[in-house]
Amino acid sequence: MSERSFVSDIDQLEAELIARIDGCANTRELEELRVAALGRRGRLTELAKAIGRLPPHQRPAAGAAINALKERIEERLRRRRQELEERELAERLAREWIDVTLPPRERPQGRIHPVSQVTEEVIAIFAEMGFTVAEGPDVEDDWHNFTALNIPPDHPARQMQDTFYLEAEQDGLPLLLRTHTSPVQIRTMQAGRPPFRIVAPGRVYRRDYDMTHTPMFHQVEGLLIDRRTHMGHLKGCLVDFVRAFFERDDIPVRFRPSFFPFTEPSAEMDVGCRRGEGELVVGAGNDWLEILGCGMVHPRVLEGVGLSPDIWQGFAFGMGIDRLAMLKYGIPDLRTFFEGDLRWSGHYGFSPLDFPTSWSGLSR
Ligand code: PHE
C-alpha cells in the first residue's frame, strides 16, 4: 500500500462518514453509525490496522492522520448528537404537554364498615374507663366455649343444630366456631393475674339466618375482676356506656333478671325506645329494647381458672356489635352487613378520615 492511496482512503472515508452523520435522522441512528465508524470493528479501526502494511517511515504520519480524522469525526458526531437531541426534546415538549388547569381525577375512597366503626366506638368508651382490648381465636375447643363457662352438657347451645362443629377434635371433643366471645374471659383469666379489666371484640358463629340473625356476627365481651366488685359497679359501668354510645344522657335503662350459666345473678339490660311505622327510635318513648346480657361472674367459673371466689369477684357482659350498629345508625336488615354491596357501604359506611379518632359516629 502506498502513502498516496492511504491518504486518499482517509479523505474518502471522511467524506463518506460526514455525509452519513449529517444524514442521521435521530440519535439512535447516530449511535449505530458511531459504532460502525469508531467501534472495535469500525471503519476507522480497520483503516488503522492497514498502517502496519505501510513502509515503516510512513507509519508515523499515517498514524497521526488517522488520529486527526478520528478527532474530527468525534467532534462532528458530538455536534450532530446535540442537534438531534435538541430536536427530539423540542418534539417531545410539543407532543407531551400537561394541562395543569384540569380538575383532579377523583380517587375512589373506601368506607369504614359500620361493624368496624361501632367496634372502635365501643372500645374507645371502655378504654376511657380503663379497659384494655383482649382477643381470642374464632376456632375454640369445647372446654373454653362451654365447660369452663359452666354450660352443662345438655345445654341447647351444644346441640348440632345450634353450633358449627369442625371435624378436628381436641381431648376427644370436636373443635367448634365459638358461639360467643365469653371464652375470651376464660383465656384472659388463665393467662394473667387479677385484677382484670378487658373488653374482647370479635366474630362469633351460630346456625341462624333471618333479618336479625346471620351465621356469623360480632360481639364484644367485657370482664372486670377485682376484690370488692359488686353489682353496683356493673350497673354504673353499663349505664355510662349506653349513655356515651347513644350520645344521650337521659336515656332510660332497666335491668331485668335473666339467666346465663356463667353469671350469678344475671341480668339483661334494656334501653327505652319508641316503635312505630316501621321505625325504631332509641333513647325515648315508652317501649323497651334489650341490648345486652350481663351478670356477676359465677363462682364456678372463677374456681375453674384457679381464682378464689372468696377473694376475687367481678362482672361480665356481652353484646352484639352488629345489633348496636343497627340501632344507632338505623340499618334495618342484618343480612345486608355481609353482602359486600358497595352501594350499601357508600350509604351506611363511614369516612376513613374520621376514623378512629372520634368514636362518635353521629356527629360525622
Ligand atoms: N355470652 C352471652 C351471649 O352470647 C352474653 C353474656 C356475656 C352474658 C357475659 C353475660 C355475661 O349471649
Atom of ligand 1 nearest to the CA of 223: 9
- What is the predicted pLDDT for the residue at 356? 52
- What is the predicted pLDDT for the residue at 221? 98
Count structural domains, the chain: 2
**Domain boundary residue, one of 33, 61, 95:** 95
**Domain boundary residue, one of 95, 128, 157:** 95
Instruction: Tell me, yes or no, whether 139 lies in a domain.
Output: yes
Atom of ligand 1 nearest to the CA of 222: 9
Residues 202 and 183 sit within 8 Å (Cβ to Cβ): no
Among 131, 149, 150, 180, which residue has the most ligand 1 atoms within 8 Å of its CB, making it the best to mutate?
Answer: 180
The residue type found at 100 is: V
65 CA → ligand 1 middle, Å: 100
Instruction: Tell me, yes or no, whether 105 lies in a domain.
Output: no
Instruction: Tell me, yes or no, whether 109 lies in a domain.
Output: no
Among 234, 262, 291, which residue has the most ligand 1 atoms within 8 Å of its CB, making it the best to mutate?
Answer: 262
Same domain, 30 and 125: no
In this structure, which residue's CA is closest to atom 7 in ligand 1? 318
354 CA → ligand 1 middle, Å: 31
Instruction: Tell me, yes or no, whether 315 lies in a domain.
Output: yes
Same domain, 23 and 149: no
In this structure, which residue's CA is closest to atom 9 in ligand 1? 317
Among 260, 298, 313, which residue has the most ligand 1 atoms within 8 Å of its CB, making it the best to mutate?
Answer: 260
Q: What is the pLDDT of residues 283-331, one digit of tens each?
A: 888 889 899 999 999 999 999 999 999 999 999 999 999 999 999 998 9
Domain of residue 325, residue span: 115-354
Instruction: Tell me, yes or no, whether 209 lies in a domain.
Output: yes
Q: What is the pLDDT of residues 213-232, one digit of tens each?
A: 899 999 999 999 999 999 99
In this structure, which residue's CA is closest to atom 4 in ligand 1? 180
Helix 3-23 to helix 27-38 angle, to the nearest 10 degrees? 170
- pLDDT score of 106 more than 70: yes
Instruction: Tell me, yes or no, whether 305 lies in a domain.
Output: yes
294 CA → ligand 1 middle, Å: 6
In this structure, which residue's CA is closest to atom 5 in ligand 1? 318
* Closest among 322, 243, 255 to 295, alpha carbons compared: 255
Of 341 and 361, the structure prediction assigns the larger pLDDT to: 341
- pLDDT score of 203 more than 90: yes
Same domain, 75 and 177: no
Q: What is the pLDDT of residues 2-32, one digit of tens each?
A: 667 777 888 899 999 999 999 999 999 999 9
317 CA → ligand 1 middle, Å: 6
Q: What is the pLDDT of residues 249-261, one digit of tens each?
A: 999 999 999 999 9
Share of the chain above pLDDT 90, in %: 71
Residue with cell 350481663: 294
186 CA → ligand 1 middle, Å: 13
Same domain, 282 and 319: yes
- What is the predicted pLDDT for the residue at 364? 39
52 CA → ligand 1 middle, Å: 101
Residue list, ligand 1 pocket, CB within 6 Å: 180, 182, 221, 260, 263, 293-295, 316-318
Spatial neighbors of 297 by CB under 8 A, at least 6 apart, are 185, 223, 225, 262, 263, 313, 314, 315, 316
319 CA → ligand 1 middle, Å: 7
204 CA → ligand 1 middle, Å: 12
Instruction: Tell me, yes or no, whether 107 lies in a domain.
Output: no
d(CA 67, CA 293): 97
Cα four-point dihedral sign 224, 229, 232, 236 = negative
pTM of the model: 0.71
CATH number of the domain that residue 140 is part of: 3.30.930.10
Q: What is the pLDDT of residues 109-168, one digit of tens each?
A: 899 999 999 999 999 999 999 999 999 999 999 999 999 999 988 898 888 889 999 999
Same domain, 270 and 217: yes
Same domain, 188 and 335: yes
**Domain boundary residue, one of 95, 126, 159:** 95
Residues 224 and 233 sit within 8 Å (Cβ to Cβ): yes
Instruction: Tell me, yes or no, whether 103 lies in a domain.
Output: no
Same domain, 229 and 282: yes
Same domain, 86 and 216: no
In this structure, which residue's CA is closest to atom 10 in ligand 1? 294
Same domain, 73 and 119: no
269 CA → ligand 1 middle, Å: 11
Angle at 75 between CA 71 and CA 79, to 5 degrees: 170
| DSSP characters over 242-305 | HHHHHT-TT--EEEEEEEETTEEEEEEEEEEEEEETTEEEETSSSEEEEEEEEEEEPHHHHHHT
Same domain, 290 and 346: yes
